[in-house]
Chain A
Amino acid sequence: MGATEHISKAFEADLDTTRTRVLQMGGLVEAQILAAINAYATGSAELIAQVIENDARVNGYEVAIDGACNHIVVKRQPAASDLRLIMAISKIVTDLERMGDEAEKIARMAKGIHEHGAHHAQRFPAVRHAAQIAVKMLRQSLDAFARLDAASAAEVLKEDSAIDDEFRSVLRQLITYMMEDPRTITPALEIVWVAKAVERIGDHAKNVAEQVIYIVKGTDVRHTSFADVERELSKE
């Protein structure tokens, strides 16, 4: 992590490869979420099939990266920033994999929603707006991971409440929608699931950002208020 390299070139290479694979996995998950949201908006059968099929690749990354972490631990007994990196990666890939699952869930819901008519999905732009925030959070966490930038990771934590607000607003709208016409209940419930999946993606992106702060600062900021995180980061 520091400017100096490990004496062992093989160790350096193992860490580099693992870091790169996390970023590749993150890129794939981001593409999956975008495709799923697109599928939700358009009902494209092709996109739906593609997201469902690609989830296996996401799972494959998780297993492979976790395996690589185990190998590094057993071969190198990493300490300090190396240890934090490996432990954090092992958690990050779990979050990425779950985001992949949420994307798949959205794709499956999209199919059901569009079977009831394309207009249902289009009525709730807040879902897509929340998804945009979630994707932005994921992108920024991955970027912070690549650059080991704790300040940028901390900004991601702040974004999460915006998604939660959107989610509540979607819920309110959907309740009204369902009350107006009970025939909309089935598609509306499916839209709730989509909104919930988006909200979960935001939570996972936040977890990734927290792990980046742990790697860089060595401080575990999970279950910590944003004010406390900021105070911790201002310490040198």
Chain B
Amino acid sequence: MAAVSVASAVESRASAPQAVAKAEAKGLSFYYGDFRALKGLDLVVHEERVTALIGPSGCGKSTFLRCFNRMHDLYPGNRYEGEIRLYPDNTNLLAPGVDPIEVRMRLSMVFQKPNPFPKSIFENVAYGLRVRGERSRRALEDKVEAALRGASLWEEVKDRLKDLAFNLSGGQQQRLCIARALATDPELLLFDEPTSALDPIATASIEELITDLKKKITILIVTHNMQQAARVSDYTAYMYLGELIEFGRTDELFIKPKNKQTEDYITGRFG
């Protein structure tokens, strides 16, 4: 068995198509008022791959993630510098003329704690579609089902779509949030510590889902759990004090990091 899996691993790497850039931060800095939280980041997010952002609290990984869907726009005094390019159209998400609503149409975010709307399971998933003007009942039903299937939740909820979302378990609520994120066909999925409030079983099912989703969608995930980064991601970025310290293939970074600071962090030599 070992021989077979080693052979297939070698083969899959050899035949793996060259990853294409889906998004790219170029000289990205971000300021909370006077505080410079991100310091000129350059990072490529590869298409249909999972990129994990790791680093100690306060390193700027969540700040970085939130730049993508312009969440920082909601607070006065926040300021971006540099660019985040979304490909293939090469749109700069941060350009002054770009409407944040337009940006959020193309990316979806899933947060640390499940945050379903106080609505039915069906309406939670249909919400984004309705906002986008989808009126056809039939189209809504089809898309909600597809999204719930995509989030591996359909079988568990298909007979209770009218139930309040809050009646679901924590893990189910998180998968509902993923379904809600998927319903609008995003190009990029942003996960901000999506399993930190979940038990190991629910965590495993979300991780399984992430691995499944990357066949179609590009994923950027912030996680405090290094084993999770090692398990689910193809690329890992280690950040510290607003800077990108190291970026590389996950299997290389966790076995043979190039940077001493990365090494210290992932081996637990650093607080």
Contacts and interface: CB of A to CB of B under 8 A. Distances in A.
Interface of A: 2, 4-8, 11, 76-84, 218-219
A207 B254 CA distance: 24
B267 interface: yes
B158 to A, nearest CB: 38
Contact of A6 (B226, B230, B257, B269): B269
A76 B266 CA distance: 11
Interface hub of B255, B263, B269, B271 (most chain A Cβ within 10 A): B269
Interface of B: 226-227, 230, 254-257, 260, 262-264, 266-271
B256 A82 contact: no
Choose among B267, B268, B270, B271 the residue with the greatest number of A CB atoms under 10 Å from its CB. Answer: B267
Q: What is the predominant secondary structure among interface residues of chain A facing chain B?
A: loop
B270 A80 contact: no
Contacts of A76: 268
A135 B263 CA distance: 34
Contacts of B260: 2
Contacts, number: 45
Q: What are the 5 closest A-B residue pairs judged by CB atoms, nearest first?
A: A218-B256, A79-B266, A4-B269, A82-B267, A80-B263
B262 to A, nearest CB: 8
A16 to B, nearest CB: 14
B254 A4 contact: no
B227 A6 contact: no
Nearest to A87: B255
Contacts of A83: 254-255
Contact of A79 (B254, B270, B271): B254
A8 B255 contact: no
Contacts of A6: 267-269
A2 B269 contact: yes
A77 B227 contact: yes
Contacts of B255: 79-80, 83-84, 218
A84 to B, nearest CB: 7
Contacts of A77: 226-227
A225 B76 CA distance: 62
A66 B138 CA distance: 61
Contact of B270 (A7, A81, A218): A7
A79 B265 CA distance: 10
A78 B267 contact: yes
Nearest to B264: A4
Contacts of A218: 255-256
Given A80-B254, A80-B255, A4 B226 contact: no
A97 to B, nearest CB: 21
- Residue in B255, B256, B263, B268 with the greatest tally of chain A CB atoms within 10 Å: B268
B245 to A, nearest CB: 14
Given A2-B269, A4-B264, A4-B270, 17 more contacts: A2-B260, A2-B263, A4-B269, A5-B269, A6-B267, A6-B269, A7-B269, A79-B226, A79-B230, A79-B254, A79-B255, A81-B263, A81-B267, A83-B254, A83-B255, A84-B256, A218-B255
